[in-house]
Every structure is written in C-alpha cells, then in structure tokens.
Structure 1
Amino acid sequence: MRLVHTRTVLVTGASGGIGRGIALRFAAAGAPVVVHYRTDAAGADETVASIEREGGSAHAVHGDLATEEGCHAVVREAAAWRGGLGALVNNAGAQPVQQLPGMTEREWRAVVDTNLTSVFACTQAAASLLAEDEGGSVTHIASIEAANPAPGHAHYSASKAAIVTHARAAALEYGPLGVRVNAVSPGLVDREGLEEQWPEGVHRWREASPTGRLGLAEDVGNACVFLASSLAAGINGHNLVVDGGVSARPTW
C-alpha cells in the first residue's frame, strides 16, 4: 500500500546516513524525492541512483542551509523540479563533540545555525508553498538528546530541544493553513563502522534497549513516511520517539 501522495518530498541532508534512509523509504512509498546535500555530491548521487534502481524518481539539489537564502533557494528548487511540494523533512544537522566549559560562541553558533535556524527557514519557505497548494506535512528530525543530553553535546542537545518546541509552535501557526508540523526523535542509529568506532557505546545501548538492537535509518524513515501520510492526518505538533524503547527505561 502506498501511504504517500505523489507530490514531491524534500529531504535535507540526504546524501547518506539517516537522511538517505528517509529518502529511500519515501521513494518506496511512491513519492518523488528531492535529495538535498551540502558537500557530499557523490553520496547524494548514490541516494538518487538507489531510488532509481528500484523504479523511483529522485533529484539531487545542492545548498548551504546555514543561511536563510540558502534554505529558501533549496526549497524553491525542490518545488520547481516537478511543479510542487507535498512534504519536507528537515534532517540536515551537525553533531560535533565539544565540552561545554571550553566551547566558544563560534562553535555554539555553528551547530545552532545548522541544526535550528535551517529548520526555521526551510519550514517557513516550504509552508508558504504547501499552503498555496493542497497543504502538506513538515517533519523535523530531532533526537532523544533533546530530553537526555550527553556530555560534549550541549550545543547539539539544546538545538534538538528547540527543534521539538519549534514543531509544536509551527503546528499552531501553520495548522490553519493546512500544514502539519511534527518531529521525530531517533535514538542511536546504526551506521557503517559504528560498532568498531564506539564499541562501548553500542554495547551500552544494546543493554539498555528492550529490543536489544540499534535503530536503523529505515526505522526513522518509516516514522517520517507515516507522519506525512493520510494516516497521520490528525497528528500535529507531536514528537514521535523512535528509540526502540530506551527512553522507557528507568534512570534510577
């Protein structure tokens, strides 16, 4: 069953990782997908090729989302590809590790502008187009760190907490225009080489997870497809946690 309308879906930061997983799931659900990237053109091309090999339709778009104009330009190009836009997934983001006591304002702003300001500007640009057409859906990729920050991630966690609240605020203001805005908060998502690079973290996660496994990019993608579909027509301003149940575990 195809859950998504055939209007274009823009996924930011889709050259690999979670973004690629989201793009692939939308394509599998029948949507044409615009694959945004900032630096990894080869990765974006591979995402497009993967979609096309399965009979889907995709198009890569380059853009720097650290500026308002860059965000607006990416949204305009995505909409121009096939003459409209049905959904936006704000996935692009940065997650550097920096201890808070030694963090500079520049380091703080680099993460906040990339993670939060881009969500504001892309949503604003997309919502105006969605409202002019048939309405649509915007989904922000947040994180369980919005509520449970990790050491060295103060700027990242603060930006993700703000993204969750932005989704709720945007749901209030864009809802009357026919635009729903929600967030998805993944936990630890598997990627190539993760277990070799961070074996102790992967072990702790598996021990904490009721399912005993790491998350997958396609898990996040499935949540995004659901929120963009007609099955979620009554869901607005919600944060859908996709962590395999880790957040349900008591902390005492």
Structure 2
Amino acid sequence: MLDLTGTTTLVTGASGGIGRGIALRFAEAGSAVAVHYHRDSASASAVVGRIEEDGGTAKAFAADLSDDGECRGLVAATMAWSGRLDTLVNNAGVQPVEPLPGMSADAWRAVLATNLTSAFSCTQAAAEVMTGGGSVVHIASIEAAHPAPGHAHYSSAKAALVMHARAAALEYGPRGLRVNSVSPGLIDRPGLGEDWPDGVGRWRAAAPLGRLGTPADVANACLFLASPLAAWITGQDLTVDGGVSTRPAW
C-alpha cells in the first residue's frame, strides 16, 4: 500500500533537514522526486545523488517561492521533466526569531510569503495539472496552536497553513485532490543539542516518548497521507510531536 512506483512527487525546500528526509523517503517508496531548492544547489545535488545511488529517480529544481511566477514555473518544470505530478509536499519555510514588539512589516511579510503564500501558489499551480487527483501535504508546526516567543510571524503563518489545507480540501475535493497538513514538534538536527541544550532537555522531559523527532518521522507521516492508505482522509492536520501536545500546561 506504500508502493508509489510510477508516481512523481515534488518536495519544496528539499535540500536539507526535514525536506531532505521527505525526498529520500518518497524515493525509497518508488516515487520519482523533484527536489526543490532556493540557493543551496550543492545540498540539492547531494540529495539527488543519494536517491540515484539507491536506484531511484530525482532531479533538482531551483525557484524562489516568494514569487508566484516561480512557483508556477517550478510545477511546470516538474511536469516537463516527468510528465505527471501526483504529490506535492509544501515544506519550504523559514523560522527567524524576532520579538513581536518592534517587528517590521517587511519582516512579517517575508515570513508569510515564504511559509504561507508559497504553499498557496504551489498548491494552486499543482491542482491545475493534477487532473486525475492527487495529494498535497503542507508542513505546518505545533506552533500553529502553541506560539513561542519570537515566533509570532512563524506561528501565525503555520496556523494559516493548517487552515489553508482545510479550505483547499473543501474546494479541490470534487476534483479528487486531497489536501492535509503535518504539524511536527521539535525535529533534531546536527548540533542542536549543543546549540540549545536547555531547550532540548526540556523537550525530552516533556515528551511522553522521551525523544526529539527526526526528519524520517515527518517523512513517514507525509508518505502515509500521500498513499492509498489515506484515500479517504482530507482536510486534516496530523500532529507528529512524540506526544508533547498532551502535556498539561498547568
């Protein structure tokens, strides 16, 4: 049921971190993967190389997703390369830290453009070519419901992204297109424990499963939502946080 052989998946922000994990997991399941990146061509090429070494099919595509035209161009380039698009994973995003008092409107707009508007544009473009149906997955965050200091723009964008998935599921459902979101908790990366030891410690203490998440944890959730196992699931947000959201705040 998780064999996606013969399909094509576009993963935005796939040059590193969570996006890299998603791209590798979909390739492992047999899907050809369009690996989107903005500036880091070397990392994107490394992801493509890894997929090809494992016998898969992938190609890297550059685009500035804050530009609607480039979002549409990315989808068009994917179609020109593969001839089809079955799954879109809107993973691209930024997470700057900036206190809300004194935050400039330009800083606010920049985060919303990258984290929210890019998903709107890519989804709209993808829906035009997914004439036989398909799956779109937004990578949101548990911060959509639990804001963190310095993340007002990020949390607001992720909350809107969850609602966009629900609205798109409603309007694109009659075309056979399913739209869902995945909300990860704290995902590990090299050096995170050294950069933020107190935060990582607090997370491990609060998480019922006692660990940080991995890109593979998020990728598996995306793969499930894109697979036939989720054929009757749309407009939903799947929380992937090791149970942290169950922890009482009092």
- TM-score interval, normalised by the smaller of the two chains: over 0.9
Partners of 1:3 and 1:225 within 8 A in 2? no
> Does structure 1 residue 190 correspond to structure 2 residue 188?
yes
Letter in 1 for 2:43: G
1:59 partner SS: strand
Who is 2:150 aligned against? 152
User: How does 1:72-91 map onto structure 2 within 5 Å?
Assistant: 72-91=72-91
Read off the aligned partner of 1:107 and give its amino acid letter: A
Q: Please list, as runs of the form range in 1=range in 2, the aligned pairs for 1:145-184 lying within 5 A after superposition.
A: 145-184=143-182
- How big is the alpha-carbon RMSD for the aligned residues of Structure 1 and Structure 2? 0.8
Of 186, 197, 200, the match for 1:199: 197
Tell me which amino acid in the other structure corresponds to 1:213.
R
CA distance in 2 between partners of 1:162 and 1:6 (Å): 33
SS in 1 for 2:179: strand
**Alpha-carbon separation, structure 1, partners of 2:40 and 2:134:** 28
- Alpha-carbon distance, 1:2 to partner: 3.8
**In structure 2, what is the equivalent of residue 222 of structure 1?**
220
- Shift in Å, 1:5: 4.6
4+ residue runs over 4 A deviation: none
Task: Note the alpha carbon deviations across 1:22-76, whole angstroms, 9 max, x for none.
Answer: 0011011110000000010001001111111111111000000001101100111
- Cα distance in 2 for partners of 1:52, 1:249 equals 42
Determine helix, strand or coil for the equivalent of 1:50: helix
Unaligned runs of 5+ in 2: none
**2:16 partner letter:** G
Counterpart code for 2:202: R
In 1, the alpha carbon distance for the partners of 2:217 and 2:79 equals 26
Matches of 2:113 and 2:41 in 1, distance apart?
A: 22
8 Å CA contact 2:10, 2:34 repeated in 1: yes
Provide the C-alpha distance between the structure 2 equivalents of 1:95 and 1:113, rounded to a whole number of angstroms: 12
How many pairs does the alignment contain? Answer: 250
Specify every segment of 5 or more residues in structure 1 that has no aligned partner in the other structure, as ranges: none
Structure 2 match to 1:242: 240
Letter in 2 for 1:235: I
Give 2:148's aligned amino acid: A
Residues 192-226 of structure 1 show CA distances to partners (whole Å, capped at 9, x for unaligned) of 11111111111011001111110000000000011
Secondary structure of the corresponding residue to residue 120 of structure 1: helix
Query: Contact 2:182–2:222 at 8 Å: present in 1 too?
Result: yes
Matched residue, 2:63: 63
